[in-house]
């Protein structure tokens, strides 16, 4: 069942978007000073009412968030989009600019929140919600295949950093869960991940 219609909100409550205590995985969209849109998976850390992100040096997301003071959290389940945004960026056709906003969001996001983003200490950036939209609210059960795609991607990013082969074993482990529990989108996503990483 899907809620239809969309809700546009100022000063939105992140809890209404499923951003609860702990770390919530979203796809963050940002733009460069030259207005090039960017998308990458990022974890939003929530501790009571404090919201922040840890942005490591070297990513476009960090450079853009620091430069513009803004970041959008896109709530999206599409596992293939997570793979595409981890290893590269979707084309410009994947983004849109909602009314009166000069910041990109993902067209296919179920919901999004625009945050003001201020560097607090080291890699930590504090987030303040400014504006948000909920487009659809799918009723979803936990799917171990979908979760496994995300776990495999996290190990893929770690492997890219240090080349430790134990991450490849972990990716193969999560691949088995995707094959058992995932649907066609999860299977397509893990196949793409393995193709990009040349894992057989």
Binding site for ligand FMN (CB under 6 A): 25, 38, 40-43, 53-56, 59-61, 86, 89, 150, 153-154, 157
The region that residue 122 occupies, defined by phi over 0 for left and psi between -120 and 50 for alpha, beta otherwise, is left
Shortest gap between Cβ of 68 and ligand FMN (angstroms)? 13
Rank residues 127 and 134 by Cβ distance to ligand FMN and give the closer one: 127
Distance CA 8, CA 199 (A): 43
**Sequence-ordered strand ranges (E) for the chain:** 7-10, 22-31, 37-47, 50-54, 70-75, 95-96, 105-106, 111-121, 124-134
Rank residues 73 and 153 by Cβ distance to ligand FMN and give the closer one: 153
C-beta separation of 133 from 111 below 8 A? yes
Shortest gap between Cβ of 137 and ligand FMN (angstroms)? 22
Rank residues 11 and 57 by Cβ distance to ligand FMN and give the closer one: 57
Rank residues 154 and 199 by Cβ distance to ligand FMN and give the closer one: 154
Shortest gap between Cβ of 28 and ligand FMN (angstroms)? 8
Distance CA 171, CA 148 (A): 9
């Amino acid at each position: 069942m899907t809620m239809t219609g969309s809700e546009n909100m100022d000063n939105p409550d992140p809890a209404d978007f499923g951003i609860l205590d702990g770390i919530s995985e979203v796809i963050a969209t940002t733009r460069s000073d030259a207005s090039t849109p960017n998308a990458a998976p990022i974890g939003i850390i929530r501790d009571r009412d404090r919201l922040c992100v840890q942005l490591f040096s070297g990513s476009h997301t960090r450079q853009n968030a620091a430069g513009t003071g803004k970041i959008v959290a896109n709530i999206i389940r599409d596992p293939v989009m997570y793979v595409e945004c981890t290893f590269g960026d979707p084309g410009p056709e994947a983004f849109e600019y909602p009314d009166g906003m000069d910041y990109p969001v993902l067209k296919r996001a179920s919901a999004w929140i625009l945050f003001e983003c201020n560097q607090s200490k080291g890699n930590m950036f504090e987030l303040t919600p400014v504006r948000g939209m909920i487009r659809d609210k799918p009723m979803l059960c936990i799917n171990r295949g979908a979760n496994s795609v995300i776990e495999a991607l996290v190990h893929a990013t770690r492997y890219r950093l240090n080349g430790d082969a134990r991450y490849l074993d972990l990716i193969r482990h999560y691949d088995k869960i995707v094959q058992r529990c995932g649907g066609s989108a999860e299977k397509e996503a893990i196949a793409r991940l393995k193709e990009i990483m040349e894992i057989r």
